[in-house]
Amino acid sequence: MKLRPLDDRVVIKQLDAEEKTAGGIILPDTAKEKPQIGKIVAIGPGKLLEDGKRGKMSVKKKDEVIYGKYIGSEIEIDREKYVILRESDILGIIER
């Protein structure tokens, strides 16, 4: 996939939804919640500031992040689901 986001946008590959609950109940496809965790696959050059310079991005490729439930634009490329959103819409980075 070749997709280059602009400005302070990032492309996130959605991780798969949980197949079963913590109690062991297997969920059908219709009951699965949209995942809010994903891995960054591409980042833009940074927000263009008033002085003409680019702001530094706080995230990098391969970071695993949490983002809002109804934020961003969902796209599908080569049967893979991605979300494009602004860096400011990312709620946090998962550190393992």
From 1.20.1260.60, 3.30.70.120, 2.30.33.40, 2.60.260.20, which CATH number describes the 9-15+32-94 domain? 2.30.33.40
Examine the pLDDT at 79 and tell me if it is beyond 90. Answer: no
Domain boundaries, the chain: 9-15+32-94
Number of H-type helices and E-type strands within the chain: 0, 6
Whether residue 35 contacts residue 53, with contact meaning beta carbons closer than 8 Å, is answered with no
Whether residue 78 contacts residue 68, with contact meaning beta carbons closer than 8 Å, is answered with no
The pLDDT of residue 17 is: 56
The reported pTM is 0.77
Distance CA 86, CA 35 (A): 17
pLDDT digits (tens, 9 = 90+) for 36-49: 889 999 999 999 99
Strand arrangement, sheet containing 73-77: 73-77, 80-86, 9-14, 37-43, 64-67, 90-94
